[in-house]
Structure 1
């Protein structure tokens, strides 16, 4: 049943305020990934489409993250440990975002962060900061000597580009980071490099 139809049905039996609360809760449950409490892929694509359509969002950057060697973590320590890693990285992402940013888990161990109003330097420093914070994190479920790391790819939105095409390019750069050895951030060629961010801005 669609939310619109459900709203019509609920309107027959609930006061307006109660109906609004129910609809809000159902919408939230539909849009959130239950494990990490970030947006799911469908909600991300909808929200990202709105940012792409808003000229005030530009420049617009998308960062794609993937937890390195995640299958090995699950295989060695169990799915509870893998879930703990996903929840912790999601918490790191949520703590870093601005109100206008969009963060989502789009599948497995892959997350995305859409940054409206972000130039190349800002997007790179955000991605590098998040990479460093995860690498420095420790998990009770995993031995202390194991570092959990992430690879990231950053793509700039191009005029007329769809959300799907932007995501595909960010994924391509993400897997370039994987091929280059993991635990790094790869950006589109620009001929410029930037210093890593100071950790006290986390």
Structure 2
């Protein structure tokens, strides 16, 4: 029984202030909070549930639980439906805490009696709402198995603080995810889904540093679609976009997972090939050239065929990346001057 909140809330505040990795699972970054709650409230289990849709919820999904290990990957979440437990959902949506002294007789939790309470020996529940922008977003559920329990106001208040702590961590996690999405968009070409020139320059600097330390070769292939302007002039820019998307998809099938394909702009692309010397890069470029020459891009009844000119060079790890980029670019111009649809080493 909690008569004085000052000591336990101070401890909870310290726990909540600890730095955690919010990029991981809910279980990982809520574990310490719910463990502290279980100990302080002397309950058998504390779990966190989130609504599938906070405006018109149909389900609650169990995303963290003191019964799970901190490293558990709980991808198959337990689920509660509004259709099955309407009284419980309606009570939660008011935002008020549910202090069910006897969970079987309380009208808000009695729906769980036969399917959950009795099979698991749960006799009492204290559920507090997690808010997001003032709207119920989920709950923290504290369950006891020691018979009916008269929940004190101090215990309800403490459980509400647990819910607020969870709310803050979840908000930080969502903001982190949004930041990652914005970062990805900043480095991504919207049309093809490939990385863009801005990403290429940062990535190349990191790879040059890594390959220099490891004394490993690093190569690149510059790819230019032949007569791309003619495709736009003949079929229109909409078809030109389709060709670029098909090109990107074909290249990704040929390249390795660790290779990095970026769009420089227009119809020019660069593939960075880690741990690859110039000879092997030449063979990769040939495979790309052949695969793309066999690609049939359909637009209605039309079958559009393309060819590419490729420039290959091994990155000079002792010079700025721009120097190797110019060398690959020169090789592409030479390939075009020699008749296109070919690979030239720079």
How would you bin the TM-score normalised by the shorter chain?
A: 0.7 to 0.9
Deviates more, 1:51-60 or 1:123-132: 51-60
Match of 2:209 among 45, 53, 64: 53
Q: Distance in 1 between matches of 2:258 and 2:215?
A: 9
**Within 5 Å, which residues of 2 pair with 1:31-46?**
31-46=187-202
TM-score (normalizing by structure 2): 0.49
Question: 1:75 deviation in Å?
Answer: 0.0
Richer in helix (by share):
1
* Unaligned segments of structure 1, at least 5 residues: 1-11, 189-202
Q: 1:166 to 1:134 in 2, by over 3 A?
A: same
Q: Find runs of 4+ consecutive structure 1 residues off by over 6 angstroms.
A: none
Question: 1:156 deviation in Å?
Answer: 1.0
Match of 1:29 among 177, 181, 185: 185
Question: 1:119 deviation in Å?
Answer: 1.8
List per-residue Cα deviations over 1:47-83 (Å, max 9, x = no partner): 1110011123721111100000000000001111111
1:143 to 2:287 alignment: no
Match of 2:224 in 1: 66
Question: 1:20 deviation in Å?
Answer: 1.3
Richer in strand (by share):
2
Match of 1:4 in 2: none
Q: Distance in 1 between matches of 2:297 and 2:220?
A: 28
Match of 2:256 in 1: 98
1:187 to 2:339 alignment: no
- Contact preservation (8 Å) 1:48, 1:102: no
Size of the aligned set, in residue pairs, is 176
1:121 to 2:279 alignment: yes
Match of 1:165 in 2: 323
What is the SS of the residue equivalent to 1:154?
A: strand
TM-score (normalizing by structure 1): 0.82
- Contact preservation (8 Å) 1:61, 1:118: yes
- Contact preservation (8 Å) 2:261, 2:270: yes
Q: Distance in 2 between matches of 1:120 and 1:139?
A: 30
- Contact preservation (8 Å) 2:264, 2:270: yes
1:85 to 2:243 alignment: yes
* Unaligned segments of structure 2, at least 5 residues: 1-167
What is the SS of the residue equivalent to 2:175?
A: helix
Q: Which has the higher contact order (CA 8 A, sep 6+)?
A: 1
- Contact preservation (8 Å) 1:134, 1:148: yes
- Contact preservation (8 Å) 1:85, 1:139: yes
